[in-house]
Amino acid sequence: MNEKKEQLKKELKEAISQITEMHSLNELKVEYLGKKGKITELSSNLKEMSLDAKKEFGKILNELKEEATSLVEEKRKEIEERLLNKKLESEKIDITLPSKKVRRGSKHPMTRMIEQFEDLFVSMGYTVYEGPEIESDENCFQKLNLPKGHPARDAQDTFYLENEYENFLLRTQTSTAQVRAMEENHEKGPIRIICPGKVYRRDEDATHSHQFMQVEGLVIDENVSMADLKGTLELFCKTILGEKTEVRFRPSFFPFTEPSVEVDVTCFKCGGKGCSLCKQTGWIEVLGAGMVHPNVLTMCGYDPKKYQGFAFGTGIDRFAMFEYGIPDIRTIYGNDIRFLKQFDRKEEQNEVK
């Protein structure tokens, strides 16, 4: 039997050495180790053997099976490795090839400005609130204490929708966020939000565009006073415009606040001496603000005896015009690539050339 074993092994080894493909290896495996394979068939001899002979024969047969199996497996590994190497070779990437140039845009100056505002207010515990640009007359005016026919609407007479939507318009002020935030707060608890966004009016000259951007702020809580309003807005102006900026509050009128103020800062350009930008006054108006009117609180579901609040609104464009020295507001919205390219930041340009 030993002789037979060595002979079969030799035969198998030789056959395997000729093999290069996986399918031939599989065929060879069947030929030797399959149900009717040359090795398997040897076990048919067992029947006629004595017990001792069986033992001896069985042992040798098992050895043969094991050895044959490992020969086949060795070859299998060899073929698999060769196939993998071949695949890796064919998929090799030439990393020295120059990449395709991707032209990447940069942040719009208004986006940069809004991010500055958001960073500041978020650091003071406010959340950023977004409302829709198409708004109902109710949210844009009525619930802000501007009933139909109110003369203060004239300044914002603007883009209404038609037919069955005639009660809707492109919002003229982000103050609509006040109404929405109060109505959506079902617990009628404290609120601290800012709402940056686009607004629309029928203006069009160097400092007015039919579309511009505002940020609205609203704080509602118990024991909120005019002192909170002043402190917050002073901090806001000094953070955005610089520590040296002086801030003054003038009494004013807005239907949704009582009392109302307008906030001026020392001129960005001349620092308060007087120049063409500030019309020789040394001051530039930047914000409208006030204590939320009790009527507004009531219409939006708040009890004015328990809660007070302050609100403010400002045009983001004006800050951007100052920050980036933009003389005409309309360029901000013109999407002229030559204008926008000026705001590419060095570090961003370096990332992708």
Would you tell me which residues interact with ligand DAH (CB under 6 A)? Answer: 173, 175, 216, 254, 257, 288-290, 311-313
User: What DSSP element (H or E) covers 67?
Assistant: helix 51-90
Bond preceding residue 259 cis, omega within 30 of 0: yes
- Between residues 158 and 175, which has the closer beta carbon with respect to ligand DAH? 175
Min dist CB 243 to ligand DAH, Å, is: 25
- Between residues 75 and 293, which has the closer beta carbon with respect to ligand DAH? 293
Strand partners, 135: 169
Judge contact between 64 and 9, C-beta under 8 A. yes
Judge contact between 172 and 144, C-beta under 8 A. no
CA-to-CA dists, residue 245 to 88, 313, 336, 352, angstroms = 65, 19, 32, 38
Min dist CB 313 to ligand DAH, Å, is: 3
Min dist CB 296 to ligand DAH, Å, is: 10
Buried b (16+ CB within 10 A) or exposed e, 287-322: bbbbbbbbebbebbebeeeebbbbbbbbbbbbbbbb
Q: What are phi and psi of 291, to 5 degrees?
A: -85, 130
User: What secondary structure does DSSP assign to 204-218, as a single string?
Assistant: -BTTB-SEEEEEEEE
Min dist CB 311 to ligand DAH, Å, is: 3
- Between residues 28 and 247, which has the closer beta carbon with respect to ligand DAH? 247
- Between residues 175 and 211, which has the closer beta carbon with respect to ligand DAH? 175
- Between residues 27 and 184, which has the closer beta carbon with respect to ligand DAH? 184
**CA atoms of 204 and 349, how far apart (whole Å):** 34
Min dist CB 183 to ligand DAH, Å, is: 16
Min dist CB 263 to ligand DAH, Å, is: 10
- Between residues 131 and 313, which has the closer beta carbon with respect to ligand DAH? 313
User: What DSSP element (H or E) covers 69?
Assistant: helix 51-90
Min dist CB 290 to ligand DAH, Å, is: 4
- Between residues 258 and 323, which has the closer beta carbon with respect to ligand DAH? 258
